[in-house]
């Protein structure tokens, strides 16, 4: 099993200088390869002969730069094959270095990097298993991190449990599940996002090239990082909650958000792109945690989950302001998002277009669902 653990590192000024030089050399190699359309690492010896300063970086690190270009190109090609519009790989500044099995050593709280030197690492928790690879990273908020990729020999045993849950990710709350549990949008993320917007406005007003602007840019990057950290923290706890409690977890493979115009005032204030990113991450977190625990995640087609009636299947268009599902045919009345979550679980359990008869089974198999939203105060997750 693969693990990725991230630790903060504290390079001295001298080591930091060498790391930045390393980034510059990696950037050079990346841009040279893109410009000359060379995508094999066998070009490196010649390149080093021509530009001796490239020898300041461990050779595997430079190879990795080229491997990364190849991987990105392959990903782009796969997306293009699916009919998506893709751009070209652009030249850019490299902010990280990858070490593959050689060129580094970890002893105690000291990390030694070949051709760079030694730096202090904050080992907040032990590294699980054997280290395969490390990535040194610098963030725009001027912090240094190392991601350690390690492997343990154990493989997860698939669960034989039968506890199932369907989760609807939505606008009003972060999520609603078939057991009636509601996670509100984390308040502290919203607060930080507000501050981020204000800081960004201030940045755009600052004079180009001024000292003030430079300072404001770092400030914006810091808040950005804070939003990211708080959201990740929430999503880790949220996904842990479900993976620990259930054996099959059903989600939509993407969340279709309604047009901005139709949102009410409260929702309009919430940045759409922030929500999109959070939903995407939520799925990723739950997927890899489930894979590590031998649990199942079923991602279903998102169409009509809010419109269809869970009980009788009657389809009727709903406006966003309609927070309750009240079926005109069978009279089934529950909160809108709960009905959606139930549809999601139903599709995950029986698939698309299942004949009516199986519906009955599921109906009886589903525990009685409270029509009121369950307050989440008792979980730590809600108050972040």
Q: Which is nearer to Zn ion, 240 or 314 (CB)?
A: 314
Cβ at position 95, least distance to Zn ion in Å: 53
Q: Binding to Zn ion by residue 329, rule CB under 5 A?
A: yes
- Of the candidate residues 49, 70, 78, 330, the single one contacting Zn ion (CB under 5 A): 330
- Of the candidate residues 116, 250, 327, 345, the single one contacting Zn ion (CB under 5 A): 327
Residue with tokens 């990057």: 221
Q: Which is nearer to Zn ion, 276 or 316 (CB)?
A: 316
Find the part of the chain contacting Zn ion (CB under 5 A) among 113-121, 133-141, 256-264, 307-315.
307-315
Q: What backbone torsions phi and psi does residue 340 show, to the nearest 5 degrees? A: -65, -45
Find the part of the chain contacting Zn ion (CB under 5 A) among 54-62, 245-253, 323-331, 368-376.
323-331
Q: Which is nearer to Zn ion, 17 or 328 (CB)?
A: 328
Q: Rounded distance, CA 306 to CA 380, Å?
A: 29
Largest pairwise CA distance in the chain: 78
Task: Spell out, one character per residue from 124 to 163, where the chain touches Zn ion: x when CB under 5 A holds, - when not.
Answer: ----------------------------------------
Task: Spell out, one character per residue from 332 to 371, where the chain touches Zn ion: x when CB under 5 A holds, - when not.
Answer: x---------------------------------------
Cβ at position 326, least distance to Zn ion in Å: 9
Cβ at position 346, least distance to Zn ion in Å: 13
Find the part of the chain contacting Zn ion (CB under 5 A) among 75-83, 92-100, 121-129, 312-320.
312-320
- Of the candidate residues 307, 314, 350, 384, the single one contacting Zn ion (CB under 5 A): 314
Find the part of the chain contacting Zn ion (CB under 5 A) among 9-17, 75-83, 114-122, 302-310.
302-310
Cα-based angle 59, 62, 63 (whole degrees, multiple of 5):
85
Q: Rounded distance, CA 189 to CA 183, Å?
A: 14
Cβ at position 315, least distance to Zn ion in Å: 10
Find the part of the chain contacting Zn ion (CB under 5 A) among 27-35, 97-105, 314-322, 334-342.
314-322
Nearest to 115 by CA among 11, 42, 7, 15: 15
Find the part of the chain contacting Zn ion (CB under 5 A) among 153-161, 322-330, 333-341, 353-361.
322-330
Q: Which is nearer to Zn ion, 141 or 311 (CB)?
A: 311
Q: Which is nearer to Zn ion, 209 or 353 (CB)?
A: 353
For CA atoms 74, 76, 80, 84, give the dihedral sign: positive
Cβ at position 298, least distance to Zn ion in Å: 24
Q: Which is nearer to Zn ion, 78 or 330 (CB)?
A: 330
Backbone φ/ψ region at 343: left (φ over 0), alpha (ψ -120 to 50), beta = alpha
Find the part of the chain contacting Zn ion (CB under 5 A) among 112-120, 160-168, 277-285, 308-316.
308-316
Nearest to 176 by CA among 305, 33, 336: 336
Cβ at position 329, least distance to Zn ion in Å: 5
Q: Binding to Zn ion by residue 312, rule CB under 5 A?
A: yes
Q: For binding to Zn ion (CB under 5 A), which residues are involved?
A: 309, 311-312, 314, 327, 329-330, 332
């Amino acid at each position: 099993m693969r693990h990725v653990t991230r630790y903060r590192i504290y390079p001295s000024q001298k080591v930091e200088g060498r790391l930045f030089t390393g980034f510059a050399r990696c950037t050079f190699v990346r841009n040279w390869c893109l410009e000359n359309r060379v995508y094999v690492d066998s070009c490196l010896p010649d390149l080093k002969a021509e530009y001796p300063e490239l020898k300041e970086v461990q050779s595997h690190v430079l190879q990795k730069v080229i491997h990364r270009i190849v991987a990105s190109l392959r990903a782009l090609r796969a997306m293009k094959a699916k009919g998506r519009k893709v751009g070209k790989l652009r030249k850019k500044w490299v902010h990280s270095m990858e070490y593959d099995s050689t060129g580094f050593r970890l002893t105690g709280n000291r990390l030694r990097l070949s051709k760079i030197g030694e730096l202090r690492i904050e080992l907040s928790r032990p590294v699980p298993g054997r280290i395969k690879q490390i990535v040194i990273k610098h963030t725009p908020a001027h912090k240094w991190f190392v991601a350690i990729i390690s492997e343990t020999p154990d493989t997860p045993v698939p669960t034989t449990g039968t506890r199932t849950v369907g989760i609807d990710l939505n606008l009003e709350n972060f999520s609603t599940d078939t057991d009636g549990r509601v996670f509100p949008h984390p308040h502290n993320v919203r607060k930080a996002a507000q501050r981020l917007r204000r800081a960004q406005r201030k940045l755009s007003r600052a004079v180009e090239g001024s000292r003030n602007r430079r300072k404001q840019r770092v400030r914006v990057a810091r808040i950005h990082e804070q939003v990211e950290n708080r959201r990740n923290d929430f999503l880790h706890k949220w996904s842990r909650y479900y993976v620990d409690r259930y054996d099959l977890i059903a989600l939509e493979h993407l969340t279709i958000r309604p047009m901005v115009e139709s949102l009410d005032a409260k929702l309009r204030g919430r940045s759409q792109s922030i929500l999109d990113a959070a939903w995407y991450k939520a799925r990723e977190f739950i997927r890899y945690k489930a894979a590590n625990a031998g649990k199942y995640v079923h991602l279903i087609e998102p169409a009509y989950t809010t419109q269809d009636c869970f009980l009788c299947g009657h389809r009727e268009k709903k406006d966003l302001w309609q927070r309750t599902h009240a079926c005109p045919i069978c009279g089934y009345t529950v909160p809108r998002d709960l009905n959606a979550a139930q549809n999601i679980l139903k599709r995950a359990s029986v698939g698309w277009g299942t004949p009516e008869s199986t519906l009955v089974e599921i109906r009886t198999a589903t525990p009685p669902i409270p029509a009121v939203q369950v307050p989440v105060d008792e979980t730590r997750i809600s108050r972040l």
